Amino acid sequence: MTPKTDLPELIKQIHQSPLKLVVVSSGGGTNAIASLLKVPGASKTILESYIPYARESLAHYLLKEPDQYCSLDTTLSMAAKAYSAAKKIDTKTNIDKLVGIGITASFATTYEKKGEHRFYIALQTRDYSKSIECVILKGKRSREEEEQLVTEYLVNLLAEIIQLPFNYPDHEEEPIFKKVEADESWINLVNGDLDFVSSTKRVPELIFPGAFNPLHSGHIAMKDLAEKKTGMEVSFEICIQNADKPPLSYHEIKRIIDQFSNGENWVMTKAGMFFDKSSMFPNSVFIIGADTLVRILDEKFYKNRKDMLDKLDLFNSHNINFLVFGRKVDSRFISLKNVSLPEHIKKRFTGFDEEIFRDDISSTMLRLESQLQIHD
């Protein structure tokens, strides 16, 4: 049997290390944060701890409502955002000593839960992201014992980072450990040393921005139509850090890139706004849905109408054109002909009508179906 870790002593050694943490926990794992804080020296290690316990609070923290509140994807997003916060809070510590940690859990409570008891821990650093996920036997432990299990995993995970002796808990259930090492180009992009990373050495000209979570047949059909229309090759663009979404973890970056296994081109950027994209890739054609065009033309995202029109004029100065595909918005299908365009940019947009292309596939529904299959 694995010898039990002296947690207070191990936490004391962690506090004596140069490690700096931002820890975010939801639904469980609060005891882990408390255990780190109650050992003297915590102020040397903990930059910030945050507990968005209510669902509304977690959605506010992530700037979006997650598909599932207790899941690996949600926990990875929390860790990536925590790491981003650590970089902003502490600008003096060497960046490779900064760590973002996310924890989500579904544990015993005052009523019997229908689903599994489980927890996820995710860690984001400069060079890699790592995760632990574990389904635990329902009814085997009290809430306090379930919380203690998470604490032991977190403390030993931190000990492993700084090469202290560690022993993960020995128990009946089998945890799953995953680690994704970042390519050096990813690190340089995250740190702002590169504008973009591409699967080819060419600067992309026909660009399809999106989350591609997952890549599906509708995306491929749009790619094929756009390539036939323009005679150019599509590059799928993944924005790894957007103003209105949490940054992507290395797990998520790898998962998205691995989808492009049939020779598709891709490019990664941190350009969340189309005005940033147009400056980065002048003389390009962008593939967008009509719903995206509606957001581009929404005055609430600008100071006033003049500000909007001035920014839209950047599409003229950078010679940017758009191919617009129809999309279902709420219960209504809209295409370019349903969108009122300002006169000075109208010639920049070419539409594909419903009779040419229509695909109502929902990426959100595909993700949920995939997650349900995993838990079946």
Domain architecture of the chain: domains with CATH: 7-181 (3.90.950.20), 186-366 (3.40.50.620)
What is the DSSP code string of 130-147? EEEEEEE-TTSS-HHHHH
Tokens coding 160: 């492993």
Closest by CA position to 239, among listed 288, 264, 274: 274
Distance CA 29, CA 4 (A): 20
99-110 pLDDT per residue, tens: 999 999 999 776
pTM reported for the whole predicted model: 0.88
Residue 220 has pLDDT above 80, yes or no: yes
Q: Which whole number is the average pLDDT over 318-338?
A: 90
The confidence score (pLDDT) of residue 323 equals 96
Q: Which whole number is the average pLDDT over 338-349?
A: 97
Residue 374 has pLDDT above 90, yes or no: no
Length of the chain: 376
- Tracing tokens 């390519």 back to the chain, one arrives at 183
Q: Which whole number is the average pLDDT over 79-93?
A: 96
173-185 pLDDT per residue, tens: 999 999 999 999 9
Tokens coding 58: 């977690």
Distance CA 59, CA 44 (A): 29
